[in-house]
Structure 1
Amino acid sequence: MSEDLPSNGVLRTPKRSERLRQRAAWMYFVEEMTQSAIADALGVGRVTVVRMLAEAKALGEVRIALSRGDAELGGLEAALCRQYGLSEAIVAPLSSDSADPTAPIAAALGDHVSALLRNDMKIGLGWGRTLNSSLEYLSERSLKGLSVVSLVGGVTHFVADNPAEFPSGFARAFNADCYLIPSPALVDSPATKTALIERCGLKSVYDFAQALDAVVLSVGSLGPEASIARYAVIGEADRKTLGEYGAVGEMLCNVYDDQGRIVDHPLNSCVMSVPLEVVRAAPVRVLAAGGAHKLAAIRGALKLLKPTTLVTDAATARKVTAADR
């Protein structure tokens, strides 16, 4: 069989070849698939994959933010905007529905946020694995007067790939000032929370976050694999009680139900985060999340945050739009 003819026997037109080339580049440079795996996924030979990758680089398409010609992605983006009142949806392609969407979403997010930033902006940031992964995809440059505000406290157990370091890493990328909440994300009581804010110097950070130009957030699931469990933000006994309150996800460690309502769980009164009503008041609200295990959390977050922009992957977009039809 000719190298220019896919194994399915469908002859490629110039437009089809362009889409195939861009899919191959995305799989290789973003999803970090091997050339052999890409060849199998696309139904072409490995030599064709090598040639397509070289062409993509020569044509200037490899910039992490790849030109996209997939009509399905545009349809999914339009459906998300229509169903959730978004100003913009960005759907990253996936090689398969079972692939980990973290890197594709992070790449799309890094490109989007880099284009969004301006001098003298005040941007509030959450933290998590997806957001942290976007750091390597930012277009670093110096921005005058940019202020970065962490919207939630951190973790007490340090790990090599600490997701709570996202705000400081983001600030370094743009030579910006960074304002942190130097406390655990979750404290032992509402009284401790009040004391830390009112008497331990954190009120200035909370006050500074009152008039944000933009926020960038993700969401977490509540299973044992969730960030709040893996990084010991919440104890296992407490985590297991969340379902009894109807909780499906967390945003800035605040837990909510599938309708986007903050649940009446005692932990919510102990979260060291900027109030969600302040976050929702930002004129630009970017939500980045994906994965089958986060489907309920994402649907609830869309109602809770009412984002202006959603960055997700194709598999998640299909499921979210189908679930809320």
Structure 2
Amino acid sequence: MDEADSRSPAPDPGATAPLLGRNLNVDAEEQLATRAAWLYFVAGLTQAQIGKKLGLNRTRVNRLLAQARDHGLVQIHITGRLASCVEIEERLKQAYGLADATVVPTPPDQELVPQVIATAAAASLSARLKDGMSVGVGWGRTLRLSIQSVPRRQLNRLSVVSLLGGLTRGSAMNPHETASHLADLVGAQCYYVAAPALTDTQSTRDLLIAQPMLREIFERGAKVDLAFLSVGELTPHCTMTRVGLVSRAEVDDLRKAGAVGDICAHWIDSEGRLVDHPLNSRVVALSPERLRDIPCVMIASGGRAKAQVLRGVLKGRMCDVLVTDEQTAKAILAMDSK
């Protein structure tokens, strides 16, 4: 509204009478709210400037702007490249009771999905690290890439705990390497699970877990302030098969048992329940059930093949903060909308 409007002559009452007869008169309060909204959102005036122009105090202007939004007089459309991601973040938080979610645009090349998620996850993790914290760490390509992007800084009295056993052969994705790298970056004390991630039999696993040293590590793991994890898909070429923990035949058996992927080396179904399979009784890792007692569980993972297992983790209430890509997030939400 420009200055000429305030100097315009008053309308002829006779000319407005026919309009009033057709119920086209505008409520005075609505008209005032519309004027305030136009001056604020279109003209770019401050609330103080609007108050001076309309002869109102700032409290009144603030109420008029709120009224304009509530009554639909103002509709805001965000057109930035990340607008759709922000909307999906809110839908994920509402649908699964998340404390926070970060959704990044999916790159055209699926091979780049872990890297873009890792960059966002590193920023989210770094923002949460504080003096005196204890952090539990999982394993996987995305976590390894994430920690490579965590800036080096010195934190006091921080500890890092590996939440699962190690691999029996060298690998950059070894849980021990992931935990030690994070500990080195922030000057933390690191605790390892001195056992393989998967034993040959359940009795071997039970014997190892009963050892005081391992029992102490898992007690530490269950009491961490924050757990930083990823999930694995269930395919013939998944990480578990590539590092030799699971055979192709076991992949088929897991599928028949209803598994869609793993978290902390435990196989779960699409509802987040542990599947009935011998592999789950041979895992040397913190169980998914105990994740629910950790104050903040952050999961960084994405890609088409991860949608089902991520949905299972979310349905099972094992995640508080999710970092994923847009296509994966949409796929998760679509599963529950059917």
Could you tell me the TM-score, scaled by structure 2's length? Answer: 0.73
SS at 2:232 equivalent: coil
Partner residue in 2 for 1:185: 197
1:238 to partner: Cα distance: 2.0
1:146 alignment partner, one of 155, 158, 168: 158
Bigger drift between 126-135 and 205-214 goes to 205-214
Matched residues in 1 for 2:245 and 2:212: separation? 21
Contact 1:285 1:308 in 2 (8 A): yes
C-alpha distance in 2 between matches for 1:171 and 1:99: 28
CA distance in 1, matches of 2:136, 2:85: 28
Change (3 A) 1:207 1:250: same
What is the root-mean-square deviation of aligned Cα atoms in Å? 1.6
2:173 alignment counterpart: 162
SS in 1 for 2:112: coil
The question of whether the paired residues in 1 share the 8 Å contact of 2:155 and 2:187 is answered with: yes
Counterparts of residues 101-250 of structure 1 (less than 5 Å): 101-159=113-171, 161-164=172-175, 165-199=177-211, 201-250=213-262
* 2:140 alignment partner AA: G
Query: Based on CA coordinates, which of the two structures has the bigger radius of gyration?
Result: 2
Between Structure 1 and Structure 2, how many residues are aligned?
A: 257
Residue by residue, what CA displacement relative to the aligned partner does 1:146-168 show, whole Å, maximum 9, x if unpaired?
A: 11111111111213x33422111
Q: Following the alignment from structure 2 to structure 1, what is the Cα–Cα distance between the partners of residues 257 and 182?
A: 35
In structure 2, the CA distance between the partners of 1:293 and 1:191, relative to structure 1 (3 Å rule), is: same
Structure 2 CA distance for partners of 1:303 and 1:70, relative to 1, 3 Å: same
- Runs of 5+ in structure 2 lacking a partner? 1-79
Instruction: Supply the AA of the counterpart residue of 2:132.
Output: D
**Corresponding residue number in structure 1 for 2:66:** none
Deviation of the 1:95 alpha carbon: 3.4
TM-superposition CA deviations, 1:279-311 (whole Å, max 9, x none): 221111111110001111111111234311110
Deviation string 1:95-144 (CA, Å, 9 cap, x unpaired) is: 33746310010000001000100011111111001001112210211111
Matches within 5 A, 1:291-306: 291-306=303-318
**8 Å CA contact retained: 1:129, 1:163:** no
Aligned partner of residue 285 in structure 2, secondary structure: coil
Residue 69 of structure 1: how far off its partner (Å): 5.9
Shift of 1:240: 2.1
- 1:319 and 2:323 matched: no
Deviates more, 1:226-235 or 1:314-323: 314-323
Query: Which of residues 245, 267, 273 in structure 1 aligns to 2:279?
Result: 267
Give how far 1:239 is off.
2.3
- Find the counterpart in structure 1 of residue 97 from structure 2: 85
Q: Which amino acid aligns with 2:102?
A: I
Letter paired with 1:209: G
Supply the distance in 2 between the matched residues of 1:271 and 1:115 (Cα, whole angstroms): 32
Structure-1 separation of matches of 2:326 and 2:111: 11
- How far apart are the structure 1 equivalents of 2:211 and 2:122? 37
**Higher relative contact order at CA 8 Å, sep ≥6: structure 1 or structure 2?**
1
Please state whether the residue corresponding to 1:145 is helix, strand or coil: coil
Q: Which amino acid aligns with 1:297?
A: V
After superposition, what is the alpha-carbon deviation per residue over 1:16-73, rounded to whole angstroms, capped at 9, x for unaligned?
A: xxxxxxxxxxxxxxxxxxxxxxxxxxxxxxxxxxxxxxxxxxxxxxxxxxxx862111
Mark the CA change 1:185 to 1:134 in structure 2 (over 3 Å): closer, same or farther: same
Deviation at 1:271, TM superposition (A): 0.3
Separation in 2, partners of 1:163, 1:128: 8
Amino acid paired to 1:104: V
CA distance in 2, matches of 1:306, 1:88: 13
